[in-house]
Structure 1
Amino acid sequence: MRKVRSLAGDSVNLLLYRESGRSDDQVEEALWKLNPTLAEHGPVLSAGIWVTLPELDSKPAAITPVRAWD
């Protein structure tokens, strides 16, 4: 796991995407488990908040599309 600092105006999704190239549900859930007090900073993070990033697979799990006729 590595730690990064937020930039002014970052949201959790933006920070995740910038640092890992992903912002899907799996990686976001892992981030919240590692940073339980992060929500106290609100939806927009100020600069300099340390955030622990989870260890990730390089690609998210494949999502099977849902079709109306299935």
Structure 2
Amino acid sequence: MRRVRSIAGDSVNLLLFRETGRSDDAAEEALWRLNPALSEQAAVLPAGVWVSLPEVERHPMAVAPVSAWD
């Protein structure tokens, strides 16, 4: 588990994507479980908030595209 500090203007989703390359539901759920106190912050985090990052794979599995002709 790695900890990072937020930059002024970060949202939780933006911070997660910048640091892990992912912002899907599974990665975001893992982040919220590690940081339940983040829910007390505003939608935009102030600078300097410590956030524990979940250990997730850097790149999610590729999803097959959906075609209108299937």
TM-score over 0.5 (shorter chain): yes
Matched, 1:8 2:8: yes
Query: TM-score, length-normalised on structure 2?
Result: 0.86
- Offset from partner CA, 1:7-34 (integer Å, 9 cap, x none): 1110011101111111111110000000
Measured in 1, the distance between the counterparts of 2:37 and 2:67 equals: 39
Query: TM-score, length-normalised on structure 1?
Result: 0.86
The runs of 5 or more residues in structure 2 that have no matched partner are none
SS in structure 2 of the partner of residue 23 of structure 1: coil
- Aligned residues between the structures: 70
Measured in 2, the distance between the counterparts of 1:17 and 1:11 equals: 10
Q: Which residue of 1 aligns with 2:53?
A: 53
Root-mean-square deviation (CA, aligned residues, Å) is 1.3
Deviation at 1:67? 4.7
The runs of 5 or more residues in structure 1 that have no matched partner are none
SS in structure 2 of the partner of residue 26 of structure 1: helix
Provide the identity percentage. 67
